[in-house]
Structure 1
């Protein structure tokens, strides 16, 4: 999926995360700030990378401020941010399996 504009998703509330994604011609860069990074950083990154891979995102910058979000919340927020950045209004649910 081609990112066309900067997009945001999520909140800074407890058990949520805030995502800012920006388009770029450079390879994908993922920056994660989390209160639980030392415990769950690898899992957070793996979940984010899996969603981005399924959506075909290979370039851009993704900045995540995590406040202890569960995997399902991480997936939803990444999907929302990517869809907004790509200007998409429909989601291919089969691609997310």
Structure 2
């Protein structure tokens, strides 16, 4: 699916994650900032990629600022930002959950 608008989900509070999703030109590109990037960076990006794949998003720029979020929080924020970027706020994709 094509991203219709740049979207943001999450906060910069402790134990949360902020994800910004914008239109990309080739594949999915990450800009990840996290204190635990060395240990969990690949897992954070994999979780977000799985959600984007469920929404058929193949081209995107993803800016992520992690403040120690757990996997369920990462997934929830990724679902929210994908729905906002695709302008599906009022039509949730329940299969993704």
Per-residue CA deviation, residues 17-60 of structure 1 (Å, 9 max, x unaligned), is 11111113332212211111111112111111111111111012
**Paired position in structure 2 for 1:32:** 32
Q: Which runs of 4+ in 1 moved over 6 A?
A: none
Q: Show the counterpart of 1:79.
A: 79
C-alpha distance in 2, partners of 1:87/1:54? 15
> TM-score scaled by structure 2?
0.91
Q: What is the distance in 2 between the residues matched to 1:24 and 1:4?
A: 11
SS at match of 1:64: strand
Aligned residues: 96
TM-score (norm 1): 0.91
The alignment partner of 2:26 has SS state of: strand
Q: RMSD of the TM alignment (CA)? A: 1.2
Matches within 5 A, 1:16-55: 16-55=16-55
Distance 1:82 1:30 in 2: 15
